């Protein structure tokens, strides 16, 4: 009789353990990072979506999104337009990563802001006069001019790295053909994790004809530009409005949202300097005014402020 009781207890214990294992297994199987909410201090969650058009629609877009200008602009030891710096930023906050695209002499698309190599690398001269083989061996400099161990990355490397962890904002510099960038985006199957910056409505029309499914950041800084975009025939689903780097009228945010277009308020330059000296509510106010995203050189400080 005692043996029977012990056997039953053992069976009961085994059953409970099995159920616990099944429960934990089911939790892990069903967990989807893209559906969870970013928690401050959680370094394993990123902006990620399988449908970028919904991600950037006013009724479904996240609130208080931050775009890190050039990735890391003013953080010691972390150069701009650098893959390792992108990792550093994402360890501190979820961010859309903005980066600049240049073309080498052998038609390779890589990340660099300036026309020349002097300010941000250990090299010198015009980037488009150097092969990428030479450029890739250069070391990147941080904002103080200090040499780091990092090298200029290829666009293709960054596109591959970004899968599942980042949305990229690609600033295509002069003399970089749209077609080359589009080919790289498609080769990496990255349409659902990029937006491309264009600087005029004419450029937007050209790019949209080449790649009607890729989201564009288009300058819409006033009501006249808004009306011109409305009349262009480009669908709102592929438009994100960049409202400039000056103080934006709240009514413009409202009109954009009513059109089905979210707005990025740029704070680069004077607005960022004001935030650094007087406090980050000076730019966080644009979230309250209707912007869904702020593009800043101080993403970590802004994120810390709005989550404080």
SS3 for 188? coil
> Where would I find the beta strands (DSSP E) of the chain?
65-68, 96-103, 109-111, 167-172, 194-197, 215-219, 239-242, 263-266, 293-296
pLDDT band at 46 (very low <50, low <70, confident <90, very high): confident
DSSP run (H or E) holding 110: strand 109-111
pLDDT band at 48 (very low <50, low <70, confident <90, very high): confident
Helix count and strand count (H, E) for the chain: 12, 9
Decide if 99 contacts 120 (C-beta within 8 A): no
What are the tens digits of pLDDT across the range 76-97? 999 999 999 999 999 999 999 9
Which pTM was predicted?
Answer: 0.86
Instruction: Give the single-character DSSP code of 42.
Output: -
Listed by start position, the domains of the chain span 51-110+152-306
As a CATH number, domain 51-110+152-306 is 3.20.20.190
Percentage of residues in the chain having pLDDT higher than 70: 85
Q: What is the pLDDT of residue 45?
A: 59
Mean pLDDT of 44-54: 85
Mean pLDDT of the chain: 89
**22 Cβ contact list (under 8 Å, min separation 6):** none
Decide if 84 contacts 101 (C-beta within 8 A): no
Question: What is the C-alpha to C-alpha distance for residues 307 and 63, in angstroms, rounded to an integer?
Answer: 12
pLDDT surpassing 80 at residue 21 = no
pLDDT surpassing 60 at residue 293 = yes
pLDDT surpassing 50 at residue 282 = yes
Of the CA atoms within 13 Å of residue 208, those in its CB half-sphere come to 20
Percentage of residues in the chain having pLDDT higher than 90: 84
Can you give the C-alpha Rg of the chain in angstroms? Answer: 23
Tokens of residue 303, six digits: 């994120």
Cα torsion 282, 284, 286, 292 to 10°: value is 160
């Amino acid at each position: 009789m005692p043996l029977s009781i012990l056997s039953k207890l053992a069976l009961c214990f085994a059953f409970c353990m099995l159920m616990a294992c099944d429960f934990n297994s089911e939790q892990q199987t069903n967990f989807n990072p893209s559906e969870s909410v970013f928690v401050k201090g959680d370094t394993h969650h990123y902006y990620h979506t399988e449908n970028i058009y919904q991600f950037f629609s006013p009724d479904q877009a996240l609130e208080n999104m931050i775009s890190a200008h050039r990735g890391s602009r003013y953080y010691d030891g972390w150069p701009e337009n650098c893959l390792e710096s992108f990792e550093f930023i994402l360890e501190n906050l979820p961010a859309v990563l903005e980066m600049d695209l240049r073309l080498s002499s052998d038609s390779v698309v890589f990340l660099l802001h300036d026309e020349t190599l002097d300010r941000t690398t250990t090299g010198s001269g015009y980037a488009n006069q150097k092969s990428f083989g030479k450029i890739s061996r250069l070391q990147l400099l941080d904002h103080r001019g200090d040499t780091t161990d990092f090298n200029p990355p290829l666009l293709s490397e960054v596109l591959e790295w970004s899968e599942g962890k980042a949305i990229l904002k690609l600033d295509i510099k002069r003399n970089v053909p749209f077609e080359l960038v589009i080919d790289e985006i498609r080769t990496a199957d990255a349409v659902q994790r990029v937006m491309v910056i264009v600087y005029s409505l004419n450029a937007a029309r050209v790019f949209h004809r080449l790649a009607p499914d890729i989201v564009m950041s288009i300058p819409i800084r006033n009501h006249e530009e808004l009306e011109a975009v409305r009349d262009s025939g480009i669908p709102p689903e592929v438009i994100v409005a960049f409202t400039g780097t000056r103080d934006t009228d709240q009514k413009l945010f409202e009109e954009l949202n009513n059109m089905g277009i979210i707005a990025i308020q740029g704070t680069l330059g004077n607005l960022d300097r004001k935030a650094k000296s007087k406090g980050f509510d000076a730019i966080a106010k644009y979230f309250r005014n209707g912007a869904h995203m702020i593009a800043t050189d101080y993403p970590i400080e802004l994120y810390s402020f709005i989550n404080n």
